[in-house]
Structures are given as structure tokens and as C-alpha cells.
Structure 1
Amino acid sequence: MTVAAPLPGAPLAVSLGDPAGIAPEVIARAWFEREGQALAPFFVVGGAGVLQAAASTLGIALPVTVISDPSQAAAEFGKSLPVLGSEDCAPCPGSPSRDGAALALHSLQRAVELALGGSAGAVVTGPVAKSRLAQIGFTQPGQTEFLADACGVAHDDAVMMLAGPSLRTVPLTVHAALAAVPGLISHDLIVRKARIIARALARDFGLPNARIAVTGLNPHAGEDGRMGTEDRDIIAPAIAALRAQGLCVTGPHPADALFAAHERARYDVALCMYHDQALIPIKTLDFDQGVNVTLGLPIVRTSPDHGTAFGIAGTGTASAGAMIAALRMAGECAARRAA
């Protein structure tokens, strides 16, 4: 797929997420704290009324300017939150609806289109309720797969990385039952994902020789086959192949010790075998600042590493830390690509 290079100084495009969740609140808070957080200019696709209602819940002033083109965002960003387009719905914190899902889907689709066309420097996606989107025709498992399809990238090549101040992790297998994981792990999958990680960390994070630590699957990384053979027969040969290609890859490491503070200093990212092996440590260490980054795409995409949180929507208690971190990371990655 041909992807246009972002225009110089192109702003970040933020998709609204489900308007019944906390996304409108954390977006509003992020704009309110933009100067202190040194955030790059961004605009939101749709939902001007929803965002102003969320700001009212937070007790903050949120001037909104509806724009017709992303090129107008930078000039407005210092004094008001730019919102692209007039699409909106009734504010409904905590009560998801079909209208809200339709607005969330429109916002996601348009934000990605603008990034692919070069009008936006990156996409930052607000959290959505996938079950609600499915009710209005959304067929992908999640937003990551939607972006992969939009960019013409195979789902396995759109790699989810969770990044925070303390740690970066990548799950080799993502939304799969634990019982299915051993059958999904393969030499080729490990090699392919590690290579995508290495390229992305060099291009977007300024780490040309990224140190990748690969976890084992079984306790104690299998203890040479005594606690399972996957570590010895699949993971270790894949690591050897990657090292032969010149990548800085180590392992398989016992996962129970890899995330201690003294161990984290030895690598830049941990490639883990399954979902919880990757997400438990980062949510323990960096819950309020965790960012979901999609590696392997021709555009930059980040998202706060949390869900819609319908249960606290409208209470004004949601932390904007992860949204602010996602916006900052998107701006930094976009700047590195532009350079």
C-alpha cells in the first residue's frame, strides 16, 4: 500500500473512543495540561459536544474549535481543542449506545485515513468497546487489526508493544486461550516478530541495536526439557537464528525473574510468549502511564493501555496519565520518522 509521507508539522489525529467511556475525559484533561506536558499539537475527530460535557464533569474550561481540515489544528491548539468535523452524539457516560459506537467507529476510520494520507503525523486511539462496535458491523478483533487491514499489513505483522517508563513488553501470542499458546508458538513467528521489533525500535525509538530479551514458556525456561520442550526445541533455536542475523537477542529467560529491577536494565524490550506474561508486569509497574504501540505499520499508532472503564465514566476520577503518555510517545515517534 502507498502511504503518503506526513506533511511537515502535521498534527496528531486522536480518535474519540467510545463516548460513553473515559476517553472524552482523559482527552479533555490532556489538552488542558498540554503546556505542562509539552504535548505536540493534536486534534480529535468528532465529538465536540461529548468532549465539552466531559470537561464540565472535570470542572475545567474546554474551549473547542470545530475545524474542517487538519492543517487548521496547529493554529488553534494553543487556545482551544481542535475537533475535526461536526459528527457528535448525546453525552452518555457509563451508558454505551449504538449512536456512540457509530461515532467511535467514524472517528477511528477518519483518523486512520488522515494518517495514511499524510495529513496527520500519527494516530492516537481512544479505547473502544469491541462488543459494541461488532453490533454495528465492525468485523476485526480489535483496533490493532483494523489498523493492520487499513494499512495492508498482515495481522501477525502488526505487533503490539506495551511501553512505560519502567518497561517495554511484546506478547508473541495475544488474545489466545492459555491452553492454545504452546501450539501457536513457532520458530518463524518468534523470528518474524523479533525482526519487526528491532526495526521499529530503531526507526521510532532511536535504538539502532535494541536488546531483546525473550522469555521462556515454561517454568525455569523448561530446564532443558524437564518442564516442557518448547523452550529447548523452538524458542532457543529461534534466538540462535536471530543472533546469527546480527540482532542482539538473549534467552530464553525464566519469566519469573526477568522483570526484577536489576534485570530490566539489561534489555530494551521483552518478547514474551503470551498475553498475561507480557501485560502483568507492565500494568503492575506502569499502569497509569502504559502505552499500547503498534509496531510494523507504515504509520505511527499509539493508545493508552486501558479500556473504556464505563464503571467510572462521568465521575471525573479517571487518570489521564496513559493518554498523555500515548500522545507524547506518538509525537516523539512521528518526529523521529520525519527526521
Structure 2
Amino acid sequence: MNCMKRRRLLALALAVAAAACDAAHEAASDELTIVVQGDRRELEQQDRALHEREEALTKEKTQLDTRIAELARGLKAAADAQQKARLEEELRRNQDLEGQINVRASALQAQKSEVEARKQAIDADAQKVAQAALVARQAAVVAREAKVAEREGQLAQILKDIDVRGKDISVREKDVALREKAVSAFERQGPPPEYRDPRTVPKAAAVEKKHRELLADLESRGILISDLPPEIQPLNANVFAAKRQGDFSRAWDLIGQLTKVMARLKVDQKFVEQKMVRLQGARGSAKLSDDQRGEVEKLLREVTAAFSDGHYDKANKGLNRIAVILDAGVASG
């Protein structure tokens, strides 16, 4: 999961870097486009202005040509010298104006040619700049590809190292689990018997006597093996096993452990409450006859009464009788 997350983060970083580079190139291209478009708009405005001036000049020349033609006809039909002189003077002025219009038309045409030339130059420059920008972008892409390949190689090595470390940790985890299991098994076996000089090894009779005294103490206090802590309950069976194997030193040590636990046990309210809960669970799984069930219910009433009065020893003995009936029910089932 962590590896996948790292891969996604790296891919995102590469995508962001690529987007940033693309944005830079696009920004430069946009700036160039803006400049070119600005120049073209300026030339188009000039072109429109020249066109308007050309139309006005053409209109003016048309009107002037019409007037000159009228003056020429009037001059031919002039009746006297004074009228003829006046028409000739006006005709001369209009002809001068016509010459000026022709000069203005020539200048206007020159300006139009200049604007057109500038348009072509701008288009040519824009193409050159665009080609140069394209070449630069291609070079940038190649450089970015090389960097990405390098970073991908580094990432692959990092992921490889992580996989190796993960496998190593898995092996160590398994080893620790096995060691924990072995330690737990060893702890359940109880501590090893202390080394004793052969002359001090307890005799079988002494071990047997001490064990009987322990069991008698359990019985007199109304404490069952099932009343002991779960980790202590197997010790009594281990005592019997050690005696059968002739390992009296171990049997002696186990009896000592049981004796210490017994010394800490008290038949009090908490002890009886825990025992009642435990037997209640056993009661649910036991197969009892009607007589046994009736006897258990009777004993439970007596136990409850004794418990309420604070007579915990009496309540405990009643629970022990119930335990015997339940054990018989389980055995018969």
C-alpha cells in the first residue's frame, strides 16, 4: 500500500512539473501571439484609415473632373472675353488641384504599399519565431524526458530497496513470533527444578506427604482446582506426572508453587461471585436429569441466601456441591 502511494505521489509530482514546463512554453507562445496580434491590429487600423482616405480622394477627384469638364465646355461657349478669362482662371485652379490630388494619391499608394510590406514582414517574423519556439519546445521535451527517466530509475531503486527491507522485516517478524511462541510454551511448563545435591533430593514419601497435605488443605477450605488461576490449574496435574516419572524434585517445586498460591487465596465475596459466574456458565452446557436440575436449583437458593447474609464459606461449599452435580451431568452427557 505504501509503495502504491509513493508511486502515485511521484507520478503526480512529474505531472505537475511537466504541466509547469508546458505552461511556461505556452505563456511564451501566448506573449508572442499577443505581440503579433497587436502589430497586425495596428497595421489593419492604418490600412482602414488609408482606405478611407483613398475613397475620399477618389470622390474628390471625381467631383473635380466633373467640374473641369463643365469648365471646358463653358469655355468653348463663352460669349465675351471677360467670361472666358474667368472660366480659364477657374479651370487653371481646378487643374492645379487635380495635380495635387494626383500627388496625394501617389503618396497614399506608397503608404498602402508600406503597410502591406510590414504585414508580410510581421507574418514572416511570426513564422520564424514560431518555428524557433517549436524547436526550443522539442529540446525542452527531450531534456525533461531524460530527467524523468533518471528520476524513474531512482524511484525504481527506492522501491526495490523498500521491497527488500519489507521482506527482511517479514522474516524477522516470523522469527520473533516463533521465539515468542517458544518462550510462552516454556513459561507454561513452569520453572525448571533447582539443582540439588543428590543427598538433598526430597524422598518420595516426603513429596507424597506434602502433596496430601496440600490437597487436604484445598478440601478443608473448599477450594477446587478450577478455582485457581487458569495458569496455575495445570500444576496439580504436573505434580502427579512428575511423581509418576520419579522426578520428585520437580514435584516438590510444583507443590511449593501451589502452596504459595493457596496462601494468597481467600474465600471472600469476590471469590464466591467469580465462582458463581463460572458455574452458571457450566450449568448451561451440562445435561442434567430432572432430579439433578431440581437439586441444583435448591442448592442455588441456599447459596444465594448464604451469600446475602455474608456467609461466604457456606455459600462456597454449596457451590462445590453444585460443581459435583454439574461434573456428573457433563460426564453422563
The TM-score normalised by the length of structure 1 is 0.20
Q: From the CA coordinates, give the structure whose radius of gyration is larger.
A: 2
Bigger helix share:
2
Bigger strand share:
1
The TM-score normalised by the length of structure 2 is 0.21
Whose RCO is larger (CA < 8 A, sep 6+)? Answer: 1
